[in-house]
Structure 1
Amino acid sequence: MTTATATLPVEQRIIALESQISEARFLKRLSMLWLTVGNAALVCAVVAGNLFIDYSKPGLGRVMLNFFGVAAFLASSSGSIYWWNQHRSTIRNKTVELRQKEAEKRSLQAAEVAARSLSSTFRTYYESIPNVRDEFRRGAERYRSRHNLFQLTVIIGSILTSVSTTAAAEQGIWSWIAVGISALVSISAGIIAYFKFRERSLNLQQTADSIDLEVQSYTLGIRRYKDVPPEVASALFAEEVERIREEQRKKELQLEQPPEVSQQRPQPA
């Protein structure tokens, strides 16, 4: 049985696990969004009801409003916390299984490399590359999550600022709420602009995909490794991976520089 045939079931399971983890992360973000924004909206609705509703009219009672509002808040908080914890457990369990399958895949690929009678130095190097690739992917996911969090803060905060500013015409306390939310929006926008989470995530993801492509090409003996002697193929593989990693380091250094320095950098001919 060839390595490609042996690793096919493992590859399929890895793809399925990555899809399940991605879905669980999306649902976890939704539950966190409801836990924070949804419950905050419920509190604001109850407060607004106490401030703006005329309770002198028949059939309107402040006690009943507060009772149902607090009950809805408690039920919403409990449900959102429960679902957030459920999705977190799913992510943790699926991630453990994914790491196990990736280790199994690396073992199968290492066996194929060993069968080519290559040097022990290259075997060690080759076995370390999947870990490097996965580290880039984890970094990309980490920066992507941070960017989404702060971007969501900017979007929601901008909407709440407009609402609070409008309400400030009736009640003075809303003007302070609008000021606080506006400050939070400005801080979040500044953090996004300074740390450049989106750009860092994109660079790391591209680097991980490029390394993964080289690993697959080398393992299957395709593209630049087709009909190439093992010694030459191993040298080509190491050179290409190191070139990709060097490009990633240059991208990181470029992101650390101020915008005016990056704009003055001469473009390669």
Structure 2
Amino acid sequence: MAGLIGDASGGTTTDSLIQYRRDIADLKQRIKIRRLQVLGIFGTPILLVSTLIVGASSKVLFWLNSEMPDAVLNVFIVSGLILAAASGVQFYVEFAEEVWEDSGASVRKLKLELSLAEERHILEARRRTPPSADRQASYKERLPPEIVRLRMDSRHYRRLHLLMQWLLFLSSAAISAVTAWFDPSQPAKGVLICLGFTVTVITAAAGYFKPRERAFNLQQTADNIEQHATAFELGISPYNAPEEARNLELFATTVEDMRADQRMREQQLDQPQQGQQQVI
């Protein structure tokens, strides 16, 4: 019945809370867009001035007593014209036409609106909080997207691990091949330096970020949550109690414990090796 209580606008409690979520999501998107707009308004003129300074400096340093090559000169001219046109368009849209939704508004102001919207959402949700049984029932319906997210993250780290391993294999093999093919001459030394640098960076990155372990933990958590969700749907152990409320409570508690364990494993992976041993 909590979801059927009408609010002042004539809608339902559910519709009111959904609208708050939409407003919050819209403000977050507006903040992202506004940041890009502000970055363009201030960054483009800076790039234009930097381009002019680099062009003038290049002329003085390299071609003081001669003509600058046409190719280099054309690059600076075209870059300057593009940046000048972009700056003009952005300033015109921002201050003259106000085409953008938040023209003239600061990011700080939008963040304040977002904070107020989130506070209103919290107060409204607290005022219209449904019973715990309803919240536990809806909790089960939110798990499929969480399982999908965990598996997507797992695939991401697994692919990253495979990419790093293949780069490591190819670079290590190329070092031996280049060493055997050349004497080594001067070009081969540069290749060997690049390959050795690649092997060192990949080895260090794999040891620090541990993508393989992250992928395994995420996949394991997703499989465990799905296993418990299936057991709850089928009404089998440990969710075969006669009281549905008891099964819902046990299910929510179990899933939250698994998510807490997943976060703990993520924190352990982010710590140095000595810190991991102390935590364990």
Q: Where on the TM-score scale, by shorter chain, does this alignment land: which range?
A: 0.5 to 0.7
Percent same amino acid at aligned positions?
31
What is the match of residue 257 of structure 1? 271
In the superposition, the TM-score normalised over structure 1's length comes to 0.53
Do the aligned partners of 2:232 and 2:251 also contact (CA within 8 Å) in 1? yes
Listed one character per residue, the Cα deviations across residues 168-199 of structure 1 (whole Å, up to 9, x for unaligned) are: 31643122111111111111111111111111
Partner SS state of residue 223, structure 1: coil
Structure index of larger Rg: 2
What is the match of residue 147 of structure 2? 133
Do the aligned partners of 2:241 and 2:247 also contact (CA within 8 Å) in 1? no
Q: CA deviation at 1:138?
A: 0.7
Count of aligned positions: 149
Q: CA deviation at 1:121?
A: 1.6
Partners of 2:145 and 2:192 in 1: how far apart?
47
Partners of 1:144 and 1:234 in 2: how far apart?
33
What is the match of residue 187 of structure 2? 173
Contiguous gaps of at least 5 residues in structure 2: 1-131
In the superposition, the TM-score normalised over structure 2's length comes to 0.51
Q: CA deviation at 1:123?
A: 2.6
Q: CA deviation at 1:229?
A: 1.6
Higher helix share: 1
Partners of 2:225 and 2:160 in 1: how far apart?
24
Partners of 1:156 and 1:228 in 2: how far apart?
59
Partners of 2:242 and 2:187 in 1: how far apart?
74
- Match among 214, 225, 231 for residue 211 of structure 1: 225
Do the aligned partners of 2:178 and 2:188 also contact (CA within 8 Å) in 1? yes
Listed one character per residue, the Cα deviations across residues 139-172 of structure 1 (whole Å, up to 9, x for unaligned) are: 1111111111111100111001110111231643
- Give the letter for the 1:144 counterpart: R
Is 1:155 equivalent to 2:146 in the alignment?
Answer: no
Do the aligned partners of 2:137 and 2:248 also contact (CA within 8 Å) in 1? no
Q: CA deviation at 1:120?
A: 2.7
Measured on the aligned residues, the alpha-carbon RMSD in Å equals 1.5
What is the match of residue 34 of structure 1? none
Partners of 2:192 and 2:184 in 1: how far apart?
13
Partners of 1:237 and 1:165 in 2: how far apart?
60
What is the match of residue 209 of structure 2? 195
- Match among 229, 241, 255 for residue 255 of structure 2: 241
- Give the letter for the 2:212 counterpart: R
- Give the letter for the 1:216 counterpart: T
- Give the letter for the 2:269 counterpart: L
- Give the letter for the 1:232 counterpart: R
- Give the letter for the 2:193 counterpart: V
4+ residue runs of structure 1 moved beyond 6 angstroms?
A: none
Q: CA deviation at 1:222?
A: 0.8
- Give the letter for the 2:253 counterpart: E
Superposed counterparts of 1:1-269, under 5 Å: 119-169=133-183, 171-265=185-279, 267=280
- Give the letter for the 1:219 counterpart: E
Partners of 1:123 and 1:226 in 2: how far apart?
16
Partners of 2:254 and 2:228 in 1: how far apart?
8
